[in-house]
Chain A
Amino acid sequence: MGLTYQSTGQSSTREIFHTLADDCDYVIALAGNPNTGKSTVFNALTGLRQHTGNWPGKTVQRAEGSYIYKSHRYRLIDLPGTYSLLSNSADEEVARDFICFARPDATIVVVDATCLERNLNLALQVMEITGRVVICVNLIDEARRKKIRIDTDKLSKRLGVPVVATAARSGEGMPRLKELVSDVANKRVQTKPQPVRYSQDVEDAIARLEPRVKAIVGNSINSRWLTLRLLDGDTRLVQTMENYLNAGKTVPVMPVGQEGLA
């Protein structure tokens, strides 16, 4: 009997991303569009406890840091800024693979309050992979200046995940963000992500295929999302998935630099 995805489990897939859970209690991913102040959020959360390097086998910059909240250590992984997780750019692939395979305890999606609509596309796509999401509506100060009002309670209800408005530059909302992240990470709060409803023919195709996908991947990966990718014909994802499913850890791992303060 070969190694299956379930038997190799979470810790081994995390190893591939060099995110050992040993030295921290929770792993948190930070996703967001470019120019949403994602780095500012990252800096505001981690301060100077940061390391930079490259993603394994990719020329994509990677930063990670950690912070302590209520005596738990949270390791924060800064994913590349992307507009979506659908296409094949190296950035998007890194972000998607991390959320999908390293299965962080929570994913913060930073969205720009001044153009929420465009930013929600990424949030919706992240929520298709994982429900453990906290939406950080950043640049809320700029939105106020532009007389844009955002009803975060309604947004939270509509998406089914916690939402917090922040202005990372001034630190506004950061304590609340940490609180929500800890709630989601240690499952004090159960999220109920509202899935995107597709057109009837897509939904029909999903209904036909999803049970069989589920039979293979179990609960380890969101089967609805994976079914969609199969329908998409995303052969690269399937290839990566194959490696995880059958060989566990033989995905090529390149050495990463973890030294130096950012």
Chain B
Amino acid sequence: MQKSLIPLLEDAQEIAGLRRNQLQDNIVASIYSTAEQIAGEVVSHTSPKRQDLDRQIDNILTSPIWGFPIMFGVLAVVFWVTIVGANIPSNLLATGLFWIEERLTDLFMALNAPGWLHGFLVLGVYRSLAWVVSVMLPPMAIFFPLFTLLEDLGYLPRVAFNLDRFFKKAGAHGKQALTMSMGFGCNAAGIIACRIIESPRERLIATLTNNFVPCNGRFPTLIALVSIFIAGSVSLSLSSFIATLTVAGLVVFGITVTLAISWLLSITILRGELSSFALELPPYRRPLLGQVLVRSVLDRTIFVLSRAVVIAAPAGGLIWILANTTVDGASLLSTLAGWLDTPAKFMGLDGFILLAFILGLPANEIVLPILLMSYVCGGAMTELASLADLRHLLVEQHGWTWLTALCTMIFSLCHWPCGTTLLTIQREQRSRRWTLLAALIPTAVGVVVCVFINNLVRLLDLV
């Protein structure tokens, strides 16, 4: 005699019917309220507890009404401090480093070095390094300690808690809120963090959508781009305000896209069961300032910067070669950019921007330096002493509008993951198909959104 529970399972599904998710929640809620009730009866405190304070803070930070405005506010303050604070050191660094470039040029002249050597080493390698350092270092040096501070305070688990129900609604695992938060640090790390999601289906969703939040490499790119573009165009206080809103808005946009794509995946190729989990909100701690500084400077700033430097140096040399090797009277760089120009223009970018994203595959940190390098190498202007000159380069010489900047930032948010991340996805999923999809999905989103915004804005005659 065979006994089986499977027919009963089917009946159970029928009884539970469409209310099954609600039923699951009901079961969990009943267990929790029973535990609460019993604990209330047997536990007594003779002194006010610190935990009560924590709970009161939690009630505000994770409240359905205040949770999101506070999150957005915290995010905005962090960006504002970064943007305003990075402005002056960026200018100082740029001035200093380009003064050194001139001295290096003098040195090469004095030594009678051949022109190509000077071009490759100074105008190629050194200059791209100077860009990386002056454009990326100050935002990183301010942003990372602030972000580490938030981590240390224990705010990030609250963010995950706030986002949990949205992920559930999107048919994804609540823990994806955590892996996404890791993605803000590094997408490759975020992909590895997806291991905490047990169900393969939900882990895949989290893996495929992790790239939609800006990582350490792209945050400075966004912030630098915003500062370059908006700084000087309007009065300082207003510009920093607009810049802040732009970056914060981009992050919210990234999270929205993450949810939307998760939802799409969960109703198409990755349909399946939802699983639940318990998220423990750790107590708030007083952050150890010294530790925060050391960790954020050593682990993050120096790490990201050195990675950028290591990749940017040869990339800078390569770009100088591309810009100075001429075939049929045109440099290779402008030929390549020319090929890309038509599709890029349709997306509100230009050939150089798209080329920078393609050449930036090894690391997102170097996209902006590559772009600036190729503009400088391709154009007539060779002396760039400050950020204001940068703005001049973009706007006057290459016809950037706010639309170009916006589309570039959106594409930075939504395009193929960097090489490291792709390798990590391949290693974790052991599937070329999913790795390819992880590159295609964000790229497709980026292209669609950019094309849409570009054409809409042009249609409405807003630029």
A and B interact physically: yes
Whole-angstrom distance between the Cβ of A251 and the nearest chain B Cβ: 15
- Indicate whether A199 reaches chain B with its CB closer than 8 angstroms: yes
- Indicate whether A202 reaches chain B with its CB closer than 8 angstroms: yes
A1 surroundings in chain B (CB, below 8 A): 1
Choose among A2, A84, A90, A116 the residue that contacts B39 (Cβ–Cβ < 8 A): A116
Contact with A along B165-205 (1 / 0, CB 8 A): 00000000000000000000000000000000011000000
Nearest B residue (CB) for A120: B35
Q: Which of A116, A120, A124 has the most CB of B within 10 A?
A: A120
A213 touches B8 (CB 8 A): yes
A205 surroundings in chain B (CB, below 8 A): 12, 15-16, 23
- Say whether chain A's binding surface is mostly helix, strand, loop, or mixed: helix
Whole-angstrom distance between the Cβ of B188 and the nearest chain A Cβ: 22
- Indicate whether B11 reaches chain A with its CB closer than 8 angstroms: yes
Contact with A along B294-332 (1 / 0, CB 8 A): 000000000000000000000000000000000000000
Which residues in window 26-45 of B have CB below 8 A to A? 26-28, 30-32, 34-36, 38-45
- Indicate whether B6 reaches chain A with its CB closer than 8 angstroms: yes
B44 surroundings in chain A (CB, below 8 A): 148-149, 151
Contact with B along A138-172 (1 / 0, CB 8 A): 00000000111111101100110000000000000
With contacts A233-B20, A242-B4 taken as known, whether A117 is within 8 angstroms of B35 at the C-beta atoms is yes
Contact with B along A164-208 (1 / 0, CB 8 A): 000000000000000000000000000000001111011001001
Flag the segment in A40-48, A69-77, A224-232 that touches B: A224-232
- Say whether chain B's binding surface is mostly helix, strand, loop, or mixed: helix
A233 touches B39 (CB 8 A): no
B26 touches A199 (CB 8 A): yes
Flag the segment in B69-77, B154-162, B269-277, B404-412 that touches A: B269-277
With contacts A88-B198, A231-B15 taken as known, whether A147 is within 8 angstroms of B45 at the C-beta atoms is yes
B42 touches A90 (CB 8 A): no
B5 touches A120 (CB 8 A): no
B11 touches A235 (CB 8 A): no
B38 touches A158 (CB 8 A): yes
- Indicate whether B463 reaches chain A with its CB closer than 8 angstroms: no
A11 surroundings in chain B (CB, below 8 A): none
- Indicate whether A256 reaches chain B with its CB closer than 8 angstroms: no
- Indicate whether A87 reaches chain B with its CB closer than 8 angstroms: yes
- Indicate whether A79 reaches chain B with its CB closer than 8 angstroms: no
Nearest A residue (CB) for B48: A147
Choose among B9, B28, B31, B277 the residue that contacts A235 (Cβ–Cβ < 8 A): B9
- Indicate whether A212 reaches chain B with its CB closer than 8 angstroms: yes
Which residues in window 204-262 of A have CB below 8 A to B? 205, 208-209, 212-213, 216-217, 226-228, 230-233, 235, 238, 241-242, 245-246
B23 touches A231 (CB 8 A): yes
Contact with A along B407-446 (1 / 0, CB 8 A): 0000000000000000000000000000000000000000
With contacts A87-B277, A149-B46 taken as known, whether A121 is within 8 angstroms of B32 at the C-beta atoms is yes
Q: State in angstroms the CA–CA spacing of A5 and B2 once bound together.
A: 10
Choose among A2, A84, A152, A199 the residue that contacts B30 (Cβ–Cβ < 8 A): A199
- Indicate whether A86 reaches chain B with its CB closer than 8 angstroms: yes
With contacts A88-B198, A208-B15, A232-B24 taken as known, whether A159 is within 8 angstroms of B5 at the C-beta atoms is no
A116 touches B24 (CB 8 A): no
Q: Which of B12, B30, B35 has the most CB of A within 10 A?
A: B12
Choose among B3, B13, B24, B276 the residue that contacts A245 (Cβ–Cβ < 8 A): B3
- Indicate whether B111 reaches chain A with its CB closer than 8 angstroms: no
- Indicate whether B112 reaches chain A with its CB closer than 8 angstroms: no
Smallest CB-CB A-B distances: 7 pairs = A117-B39, A120-B35, A230-B12, A83-B278, A147-B46, A147-B47, A155-B42
- Give A contacts to B, CB under 8 Å: 1-2, 4-5, 83-84, 86-90, 115-118, 120-121, 123-125, 146-152, 154-155, 158-159, 196-199, 201-202, 205, 208-209, 212-213, 216-217, 226-228, 230-233, 235, 238, 241-242, 245-246
Known: A87-B278, A88-B199, A118-B280. 10 other contacts (CB 8 A): A1-B1, A148-B43, A148-B49, A150-B42, A158-B41, A199-B30, A209-B12, A213-B5, A233-B9, A241-B5
